Structure 1
Amino acid sequence: MSERKKNLFNAAFVLIVFALTIYSVFAGKDLGDIAETITEAEPVYLLLGMGCVVLFIWGESKILHYMFGTLGIRTKRRTCFMYSCVGFFFSCITPSAGGGQPAQILYMRKNMIPVPVATVVLMIVTITYKLVLVAVGCFLVLFCRGTMDRYMWEVLPVFYLGLGLNVVCCTAMLILVFHTSLARNIVMKLLDLLGGFRVFRRLAAKKERLTLTMDHYGDTAAYLKQHKRVLVNVLLLTFMQRIALFFVTFFVYRSFGLHGTAMWRIVLLQASISVSVDMLPLPGGMGISEHLFLTIFDPIFYGDFLLPGMVLSRGIAYYVQLFFSAAVTAGAHFMFKRRGSRTKCT
């Protein structure tokens, strides 16, 4: 599939999922009442929620800037912020957030950052990103059974599925990093087996491509052995970055003047939604995130505040993130295009 066709397919897929989400959430609802309730929200708290989104994006840029520094690569903070926006924009519009890192590598390469270096850095970002979600999910299971039974009973199968997929993903990535030869042997034997059933065409080319990917994991392992403290620091930064985004729902809750539910409980419940949907093949968890919110937060955003609360929380955490990162990505695209035109002229 050509790049243009792939982009058109992703755009069409996002629009279809968005339309289905809007229909399933708002069918039969009085949109006028919802809009009126939203206007009652305190703007200061909504601005704080938007600030959390910017802090979330900035958090990754801080991690990128820090890691490039450990590799002796000098980058500007605003350039790393641009990389973060590019990643989050393409993650928001592609299934399972699969388009974010390839787009980041492309823009990093335009700034003369070697692809192997960019790949290692982004792999560590991915591993820590998933590890934080797994840690939050395990914390809920081990120490918050009462909260789960009270608020998440109806959605526990989805939560456990999401947690399980994240655990499998993290385990696979850690094996690839720290036991590269074992992972290589397993994957090669699996390819040979599938090749015997003629599942894959051009098996040799796929093996070669896979070998290159494995080499990147080997480079990641070598980096972590030389920079052991880096992983701990990145984990701490990633934890704060993720928590910042989960606080959006708390600020939306407070914007309606609601009380009675502790801040930590709202943040953890919002985190449970992220754990549930992170690995699902939907752009930004669209559709399932909205329905999980309406189920989990029903006792918290009581009365007429539930649907407006979902609109604001999801609107700030996902759609503000999407449009903000899209604007920065568009600016970066035109900047590189203009730079390319000047290079050709000279």
Structure 2
Amino acid sequence: MNLLKKKSVWFGALLLLVLGGATLFIIYKELNGNDIAGTLRHADPRWVTAAVAAMILYSIADGLNIRRCLRLTGYEVSIPQMMKYAFAGFFFSSITPSSSGGQPGQLYFMYRDKIKLSHGTFSLLCAFLSYQIMAVVWGIIGLIFTPKGIMSLGGKFSYVFPIGFAINLVTIAILISILFSRRMTIMFAYIALRFNRKNKNPGSKNEIMRFFARYRKAAGLMNSNKRVFVKILLTSFVQMSLFHSVPYLCARALGCDSFGWFTGVCTQGALFLSVSSLPLPGAAGVTEYGFALFFADLIPKHLMGSTMILSRFCSFLFPLIVSGSQLLLLQLSANTRRPIRKASR
């Protein structure tokens, strides 16, 4: 037991070092060539505060959706815990290509809190499906109301935008199949058993079957509690609206009032849907290119660079610092005690 505790302590220390190192590396890359401090000095602090507040509320909304899904599968999750999962999702999504590390990072912390992998997987997939649906909704609204920005794409990166739209639409179709199709669940169970056939441990096959049985039971709970998913969708709509508001708020902070909130959200919605699934950490590089392209007719040229820097700081760099630091504090805090399982239904 003491050996296991020592290993856990060493692994936790290693994780803290990795988190801190990744945060510092991303910060270094973002600050390279970008005068964020100078931009902040010339920005209206009221609008900057509004942009930062929008991102804080964005993370809270993410945590609420995860909490709803976990409650449905029988777990009482405290506010510090739900924020730990939300911070883990943002942090690991930000430092991995195509945001692929978000859900695995969240599952790790859920596993540490004694949440079954089947229930954690289902909860995260439900929250992710809702998020993707609302990303597509705002992207389609943006496609309708900002047609010039979409149709005038050019240059060597022009191909990435239609690919981004297609990837997100396919992702939603796959998520719906995985979450609610009994045949799809059986197929994945069969694949898992085939990969596990060389394992001589007789309990491993039973564990795989129990995993998919619990997963299907969770899917049944969501099917019989559709109001919960409607609440999750509405929360995701607010969440995405807050996130897409950041460029508008940053433009106002720098004195640009040539476009309204709705136009700004629509434009950012189309941009986000285009680049969010690209295989780059935080969609680095192409996000800045897309920002300049999509907002070219809305933000004056002399403010474009500063607005882009400020928007990137408020929507990516600042939340990355907060999520990384808070994740460490919450992980070490006694307030993030393990979830208490509800009485069986």
TM-score bin (small chain): 0.7 to 0.9
**TM-fit CA distance, 1:19:** 7.1
The CA deviation string for residues 100-142 of structure 1, in whole angstroms up to 9 with x for no partner, is: 2222222223333222222211110111111111222233335
**TM-fit CA distance, 1:37:** 5.0
State yes or no: 1:70 paired with 2:72. yes
Aligned to 1:227: 225
| Amino acid in structure 2 at the alignment position of 1:179 | S
Aligned to 2:161: 159
Q: 2-side partners of 1:295 and 1:147: how far apart?
A: 7
Aligned to 1:314: 312
Q: 2-side partners of 1:149 and 1:269: how far apart?
A: 13
**TM-fit CA distance, 1:54:** 0.5
User: Kindly tell me: are residues 158 and 214 of structure 1, through their superposed partners in 2, closer, same or farther at Cα, counting changes over 3 Å?
Assistant: farther
Aligned to 2:117: 115
Which stretch of structure 1 is more off in the superposition, 85-94 or 101-110? Answer: 101-110
Which stretch of structure 1 is more off in the superposition, 274-283 or 320-329? Answer: 274-283
Q: 2-side partners of 1:187 and 1:276: how far apart?
A: 33
Aligned to 2:278: 280
Aligned to 1:51: 53
Q: Is the 8 A contact 2:250 2:311 kept in 1?
A: yes
Q: Is the 8 A contact 2:89 2:105 kept in 1?
A: yes
State yes or no: 1:132 paired with 2:130. no
Q: Is the 8 A contact 1:20 1:287 kept in 2?
A: no
Aligned to 2:257: 259
Tell me how many residue pairs correspond in the alignment. Answer: 321
Q: 1-side partners of 2:70 and 2:180: how far apart?
A: 21
What is the TM-score with the length of structure 1 in the denominator? 0.77
Percent of aligned positions that are identical: 23
User: Kindly tell me: are residues 213 and 69 of structure 1, through their superposed partners in 2, closer, same or farther at Cα, counting changes over 3 Å?
Assistant: closer
The CA deviation string for residues 37-69 of structure 1, in whole angstroms up to 9 with x for no partner, is: 542211111111111110110111111233333
Q: 2-side partners of 1:292 and 1:318: how far apart?
A: 15
Which stretch of structure 1 is more off in the superposition, 10-19 or 323-332? Answer: 10-19
What is the TM-score with the length of structure 2 in the denominator? 0.78
Q: 2-side partners of 1:9 and 1:330: how far apart?
A: 11
User: Kindly tell me: are residues 35 and 100 of structure 1, through their superposed partners in 2, closer, same or farther at Cα, counting changes over 3 Å?
Assistant: closer
Describe the SS at the equivalent of 1:316.
helix
Aligned to 1:40: 42
**TM-fit CA distance, 1:299:** 2.9
**TM-fit CA distance, 1:92:** 1.2
User: Kindly tell me: are residues 42 and 102 of structure 1, through their superposed partners in 2, closer, same or farther at Cα, counting changes over 3 Å?
Assistant: same
| Amino acid in structure 1 at the alignment position of 2:44 | E
| Amino acid in structure 2 at the alignment position of 1:63 | N
Aligned to 2:5: none
Q: Is the 8 A contact 2:139 2:271 kept in 1?
A: no
How much is the aligned-residue C-alpha RMSD, in angstroms? 3.7
Q: 1-side partners of 2:154 and 2:189: how far apart?
A: 38
Aligned to 1:327: 325
Which stretch of structure 1 is more off in the superposition, 155-164 or 47-56? Answer: 155-164
Q: Is the 8 A contact 1:120 1:216 kept in 2?
A: no
Q: 1-side partners of 2:54 and 2:102: how far apart?
A: 20
User: Kindly tell me: are residues 81 and 129 of structure 1, through their superposed partners in 2, closer, same or farther at Cα, counting changes over 3 Å?
Assistant: same
The CA deviation string for residues 168-192 of structure 1, in whole angstroms up to 9 with x for no partner, is: 1111121222323157549969x99
Aligned to 2:4: none
Q: 1-side partners of 2:210 and 2:151: how far apart?
A: 46
Aligned to 1:343: none
Q: Is the 8 A contact 2:275 2:286 kept in 1?
A: yes
Describe the SS at the equivalent of 1:96.
coil
**TM-fit CA distance, 1:212:** 7.8
Q: 1:295 aligns with which of 268, 293, 296?
A: 293
The CA deviation string for residues 125-173 of structure 1, in whole angstroms up to 9 with x for no partner, is: 11111111122223333554355346x5667632221110011111112
Q: Is the 8 A contact 1:87 1:101 kept in 2?
A: yes
**TM-fit CA distance, 1:236:** 0.8
**TM-fit CA distance, 1:293:** 1.1
Gaps of 5+ in 2: 1-10, 200-204, 339-345
Which structure carries more helix by proportion? 1
User: Kindly tell me: are residues 213 and 333 of structure 1, through their superposed partners in 2, closer, same or farther at Cα, counting changes over 3 Å?
Assistant: same
Q: Is the 8 A contact 1:247 1:267 kept in 2?
A: yes
| Amino acid in structure 1 at the alignment position of 2:104 | P
The CA deviation string for residues 69-109 of structure 1, in whole angstroms up to 9 with x for no partner, is: 33442222222112211221111112222222222222223
Q: Is the 8 A contact 2:97 2:281 kept in 1?
A: yes
Aligned to 1:197: none
Describe the SS at the equivalent of 1:282.
coil
**TM-fit CA distance, 1:235:** 0.7
Q: Is the 8 A contact 1:136 1:271 kept in 2?
A: yes
User: Kindly tell me: are residues 212 and 239 of structure 1, through their superposed partners in 2, closer, same or farther at Cα, counting changes over 3 Å?
Assistant: farther
